[in-house]
Amino acid sequence: MSAGYKDDQNDWLTVCLKYLLFVFNFLFWMGGAAVLGVGVWTLVAKSDYLSLLASSTFAVSAYILILAGSLVVVTGFLGCCAVIREQRSCLSTYFIFLLLIFLIELVAGVLAYVYYQRLSEELKQHLNYTMTENYAQPGKEAITLAVDNLQQDFKCCGSNNSHDWTLSRYIVSGQAEDRVVPDSCCKTITPHCGKRDHPSNIYKVEGGCITKLEKFLADHLLVIGAVGIGVACLQICGMVFTCCLYRRIKMDPY
């Protein structure tokens, strides 16, 4: 009778572990969708700003999240099959995939955190140069468009202030046609509106575009880091449940 009770207890524990893994898989899919969504959102929302950055760390973090989110879809399906079929080989493969995705998301989170720490210094060193030396220059159409969108979206003018444009290659050259700032600095864009830099005509924001772009990127990096590390922590539970179920099945002589 005690042996039968022990068998029933083992069966009950195995069933509980299976349901726990099913619940985890559901949460895992939800987390994967969040990871994938954040990665796509990071690249799609204001993606033209990436051309203004000196390093590609920001974009790499987003691509890593997209890769991890895509793997989650496949891994979640594999996890359900492993639980239903109760095969140790499937559970082992599932565990390896969980560990791989865990490491990928951890890397994305750490990259986002590291880049967040040096974002301000990078923008201070490179943004003004990128804007003043590359705006409206041959072969720099992407940067020109990014600068125009930046100034209009964030209602700012120049990296630090509108005076940054004074010595820019665009204003110094004849192509500016007597403008003192690009037309994208204007509150209402009309042809040659950049000839007048009065506060009633152009954006004169404290801190210029650099403070606005820094806040925008910092917010995105915090979301990338939080989602990546958060889902990675969730996967630790999944790996623990998988190991426990693997042991229960291994104890079964059949």
Output the pLDDT for position 252. 46
Average pLDDT, integer, range 128-136: 90
In the chain, where the domains are located: 1-114+228-248, 127-209
Round to whole Å and give the CA distance between 121 and 44. 24
Residue 197's contacts (CB-CB under 8 Å, 6 or more residues apart) are 162, 180, 181, 185
Percent of the chain with pLDDT over 90: 17
The model's pLDDT over 184-219, given as tens digits with 9 standing for 90+, comes to: 999 999 999 999 988 899 998 777 898 888 888 888
Percent of the chain with pLDDT over 70: 91
Output the pLDDT for position 6. 44
Residue 38's contacts (CB-CB under 8 Å, 6 or more residues apart) are 62, 65, 223, 224, 227
Round to whole Å and give the CA distance between 172 and 185. 17
The overall average pLDDT reported for the chain is 80
Round to whole Å and give the CA distance between 185 and 182. 6
Output the pLDDT for position 15. 74
Per-residue confidence band for 70, with pLDDT thresholds at 50, 70 and 90: confident
Helix (H), strand (E), coil (C) string for the chain: CHHHHHHHHHHHHHHHHHHHHHHHHHHHHHHHHHHHHHHHHHHHCCHHHHHHCCCCHHHHHHHHHHHHHHHHHHHHHHHHHHHHHCCHHHHHHHHHHHHHHHHHHHHHHHHHHHHHHHHHHHHHHHHHHHHHHHCCCCCCHHHHHHHHHHHHHCCCCCCCCHHHHHHCHHHHCHHHCCCCCCHHHECCCCCCHHHCCCCCCECCCCCHHHHHHHHHHHHHHHHHHHHHHHHHHHHHHHHHHHHHHHHHHHHCCC
Per-residue confidence band for 254, with pLDDT thresholds at 50, 70 and 90: very low
The model's pLDDT over 5-55, given as tens digits with 9 standing for 90+, comes to: 444 445 677 677 777 777 777 777 777 787 788 778 877 766 777 778 877
Segment of 1-5, 91-95, 138-142, 233-237 carrying the highest mean pLDDT: 138-142
Output the pLDDT for position 91. 77
Predicted TM-score (pTM) of the model is: 0.72
User: Which residue in this structure is represented by tokens 């990871």?
Assistant: 35
Lowest mean pLDDT across 59-68, 79-88, 169-178, 191-200: 79-88
- Looking at this protein, which amino acid is placed at residue 79? G
Output the pLDDT for position 237. 78
User: Residue 59 pLDDT > 50, yes or no?
Assistant: yes
Under a CB-based contact definition with an 8 Å cutoff, are residues 221 and 116 in contact? yes
The model's pLDDT over 102-118, given as tens digits with 9 standing for 90+, comes to: 888 777 777 777 877 78
More confident residue, 194 or 101: 194
